[in-house]
Amino acid sequence: MFSPSPEGRQHSVGSSEVIEVNGPNPYQVTIGRGLTDDIADRAKHTGAQTVGIVHQPTMAAPARQVARSIENLGLGVHLFSVPDAEAAKTLEVADQLWDELAQHNFSRRDVIIGFGGGAVTDLAGFIAATWMRGIKVIQVPTTLLAMVDAAVGGKTGINTGHGKNLVGAFHEPDSVFVDLDRLATLPEEEIIAGSAEIIKTGFISDGVIIDRYEDDPLACLDHDGYLPELITRSIAVKANVVGMDLRESGLRETLNYGHTFAHAVELRENFAWRHGNAVAVGMMYIAHLAHNRKLIDDALLQQHRRILESVGLPVAYEPGHFDELLAAMNRDKKNREGRPRFVGITGIGDCMRIPDASDEELRAAYEAICA
């Protein structure tokens, strides 16, 4: 099987949705509103005596609320503020956190909470994976991208001078809490960029997601509109994928739809582009490549463009950089035998590998997105 199922194993608890993630260490993703006390209850339930909350400076206030709620249950709490975005994912920051865990006597039974965007959940997961050979981590994503992608699935890591996420571990979270109240605090550009990963799960698996964007793109960006449903659907797809293939030996590759070209763009732009914007251009790129191969028809190609544009995502890239982008794609760490490896679709929810695109095909798709 090489196409993810859109059907989540999920149920409602009060006003929250709970999605089960199977795999070596099953866990739950809770999606709801006002989850501070639920996070604290879960921390207590792990049996920890001490909790470390890793957060970005901008998340200090809500992280303190979670800390107070945990303290009220009689546990010790330490707040660890780390730099924003990728600046958090360095060996220096990790080393500082290990130092703090040692100073506060964190033991094997204690727990880390990753409270923030994808960089924080990656870092917190990595610290939890490595401290005393692995302690529990509760992930609390606060950006749309982290909610629908980074915080679910157990990929953790830091960057080195040679590339992103080169040092890391698969370390499944104890649990994930997606507090929809956070959406109201996010800038619009972040909602737009995060939407690229939702649209991706639509194309690779869940046609209802695509229908929602066709129906009302603005409601898809609205936390009082379709957005909560889209988040739940997107997490359900990801949960199915990582539940079957934690270590990316097959099905998980489908989550890379649009990502091979996106990674090359991000590298060329020195990571100044939002990841979701690069993924949007990357999906247009692979759609053109598939169209040129007659794997998809004109209607599906145009649907990619229409949906991405309808929420303000980019669908084109600058001309004149093919050789640089090709070199970056040839170095992608997911390659096999030195060739870029793409995931394409032949229809919504039908995925296939494209491991054998020639340089001429890669150039033709590039020229199409520059046109």
Instruction: Give the annotated binding-site residues for NAD(+).
Output: 84-89, 118-122, 142-143, 155, 164
Q: Which is nearer to ligand GLY, 170 or 322 (CB)?
A: 170
CB of 193 within 8 A of CB of 276? yes
Name the packing angle between helices 91-103 and 118-130 (round to 10°): 50
Closest C-alpha among 40, 275, 28 to residue 172? 28
Which of 24, 243, 231 shows the shortest CA–CA distance to 153? 243
Closest distance to ligand GLY from the beta carbon of 174 (Å):
18
Q: How far is the CB of 352 from ligand GLY (least distance, A)?
A: 18
Residue 77 vs 147, nearer CB to ligand GLY? 147
Q: Interface with ligand GLY by CB under 6 A: which residues? A: 149, 153, 155, 252, 255
Please, which residues bridge with residue 138 across strands? Answer: 113, 175
How far apart CA 259 and CA 264 sit, in angstroms, is: 9
Residue number of the CB closest to ligand GLY reads: 255
The pair of structure tokens assigned to 80 is: 């660890």
- Put residue 283 in one of left, alpha, beta given phi > 0 → left and psi -120 to 50 → alpha: alpha
Q: Classify residue 341 by its DSSP letter.
A: -
Closer residue to ligand GLY in complex, CB, 110/245: 245
Cβ contact 330:339 at 8 Å:
yes
CB of 264 to ligand GLY, least distance (A): 16
Annotated binding site: 84-89, 118-122, 142-143, 155, 164, 197, 259, 275
Residue 17 or 149 with smaller CB distance to ligand GLY = 149
For the CB of residue 5, give the shortest distance to ligand GLY in the complex, in Å: 16
Q: How far is the CB of 165 from ligand GLY (least distance, A)?
A: 10
Cβ-in-10-Å burial (0-12, 13-18, 19+) of 103 comes to exposed
Reduced to 3 states (helix: H, G, I; strand: E, B; else coil), residue 344 is: strand
* CB of 62 or CB of 153, closer to ligand GLY: 153
